Structure 1
Amino acid sequence: MIVLALILVPVFAALGAYAHRETAFRTGWLVAAAVVHAGLVGAVWAAPPEPVLNGWIATDPIGLIVLSVVSGLFLMAAIYAVGYLRRENPRGGRAFVSCLLAFLAAASLVTLSQHLGVLWVGMEATTLSVAPLIYHRHDRRSLEKIQYPTGNVEV
C-alpha cells in the first residue's frame, strides 16, 4: 500500500489545494505533500514494499533512485514555491499548486511503473500537468514553449 500512497498522496493533495481558496492553505498542501512524499520514499528505502496491482506498480533499484531524486527536488521546489506565490502570484496559484502536485503524482507513477501501458499513461500525465505550469505567466513566450509535439498530438 505504501507504493500506492506515493501516487495517491500528491493526487489528494492536489485536489485539496484546488478546493481551498486561501493561498496559505494551498502552499500548506504543497509543502505537506512534499514532506510526506519524501518520508514515504525514505520508508521504501528502509523496507521495500510488495508490488501492487498484479505487479504493474512496484519498486525497482533504478526507479527508486529516480524517485528519490524527484522527491528531493520537488521538496526543494515546494519550499521555494511558498515565497514565489507570495511575491509573484496575486491570484493565489490555485492551478499552479494543483499542477505541481499532479506532476509529482505522475512522475511517481512513471518511476514505479512496471508495465509499458502504465508508463505511457504516467508520461502523458506529466506532460499534461506541466503544460499549465509553462503557461503560468500568460505571456507570448510561454505560449510558444507549450506548443511542442508529444507523439502525434500537440498540447
Structure 2
Amino acid sequence: MLLLAILLIPAVAAGLAYALPRRGLRLSLLVLTSVIHLALVAVLWTTPDVTALRGWLVADPLGLIVLTLVSMLFLAASIYAVGLLREESPRGGRLFVTCLLGFLAATSLVCLSHHFALLWVGMESTTLAIAPLIFHRHDRRS
C-alpha cells in the first residue's frame, strides 16, 4: 500500500492541480505533495521488503536510493518553482504544476517497477510529462 501511495499521491495531486482555480493553491499543493512524497520515501527506508501489485512494484535497495534522490531534488525544484511561477508565469502555471507532479509520479514508477513493461510505461510517461515543461515559455529558446 505504501508503494501505491508513493505513486498515486503525486498523480492525484496532478489532476487536482489542474482543476484548482487559484495559483496560490496550486503552488501550495506542489510543495505539500513533494514533502509528503519525501516523507513516504523516508518511511520506505524503515520498512523492509515492500512489494505491491504481485511483485511488479518493489522497493529494492538501488531503486530506493534513486527514489530518495529524486524526491529530495523534486522538493528543492518545487520550492524553486514557487518563486519562479510567482514572478514569471502570466498563465498561472496550471500546466506547469500539473506536469511537474505528473513527472514525480512517473519517475517514482520508474524507480519502483520490477516489470519491464511497467518500466517502459514509466519512462514514456516521464517524456510526456516533461515535454510541456520544456516549451513552457512558448518562445524560440524553448
Determine if the TM-score, normalized by the shorter chain, exceeds 0.5: yes
Q: What amino acid is the match of 1:138? A: H
Runs of 4+ in 1 over 2 A off after TM superposition: none
Matched, 1:70 2:86: no
Q: What amino acid is the match of 2:66? A: V
How far is the alpha carbon of 1:84 from its aligned partner?
0.6
How far is the alpha carbon of 1:58 from its aligned partner?
1.0
In the alignment, what sits opposite 1:41? 41
In the alignment, what sits opposite 1:54? 54
How far is the alpha carbon of 1:46 from its aligned partner?
1.3
User: Are the counterparts in 2 of residues 2 and 49 from structure 1 also a CA contact under 8 Å?
Assistant: no
Matched, 1:32 2:48: no
| Residue ranges of structure 1 left out of the alignment (5+ in a row) | 143-155
Identity level (%) = 58
User: Are the counterparts in 2 of residues 3 and 49 from structure 1 also a CA contact under 8 Å?
Assistant: no
Moved more, 133-142 or 28-37: 133-142
| Residue ranges of structure 2 left out of the alignment (5+ in a row) | none
Q: Deviations over 1:82-134 (max 9, x none)?
A: 11110010211000000000000000000000010000000000000000000
What's the RMSD between the two structures over aligned residues? Answer: 0.8
Matched, 1:128 2:137: no
In the alignment, what sits opposite 1:4? 4
How far is the alpha carbon of 1:50 from its aligned partner?
2.7
Partner Cα separation in structure 1 for residue 5 and residue 103 of structure 2? 15
Partner Cα separation in structure 2 for residue 39 and residue 46 of structure 1? 11
Q: What amino acid is the match of 1:141? A: R
Q: What amino acid is the match of 1:140? A: R
Partner Cα separation in structure 2 for residue 107 and residue 60 of structure 1? 15
Partner Cα separation in structure 2 for residue 89 and residue 37 of structure 1? 25
Question: How many residues are treated as equivalent by the alignment?
Answer: 142
In the alignment, what sits opposite 1:79? 79
Q: What amino acid is the match of 2:101? A: L
Larger RCO (CA within 8 A; separation ≥ 6): 2
How far is the alpha carbon of 1:49 from its aligned partner?
5.1
